[in-house]
Amino acid sequence: LAGVGPGCTDETLLSAIASALHTSTMPITGQLSAAVEKNPGVWLNTSQPLCKAFMVTDEDIRKQEELVQQVRKRLEEALMADMLAH
């Protein structure tokens, strides 16, 4: 993900996307107009966060699901090791 506009930090971008996910029932696509990169105040779609357009694919979702499963397994192993140590 890449933010658009002056002073757009990673924290600002994450906050904007998280807010959009929790307050909107519309899909989050980012700013679709190329004009917004030249002047963020022009052609702004106010229902979308200030980031460049992006698409989440089925492959992205599959990779994220695999990562979550791996992290859950490591957490389970760490908790079991901790229980056995005490």
Q: Give the model confidence (pLDDT) of 3-44 as tens digits.
A: 777 777 888 888 888 888 888 888 888 877 666 666 656 656
Both tokens assigned to 66: 């695999």
Q: DSSP letters of 18-72? A: HHHHHH-SS----B--THHHH-TTSS--TTS-SBB-----HHHHHHHHHHHHHHH
Amino acid at the residue 73: K
Residue 75 identity (one-letter amino acid): L
pTM reported for the whole predicted model: 0.53
Looking at per-residue pLDDT, the higher value among 21 and 51 belongs to 21
Q: Please identify which residue in the block is written with the tokens 């990673």.
A: 10
Residues 15-27, buried b or exposed e (16+ Cβ, 10 A)?
A: ebbeebeeeeeee
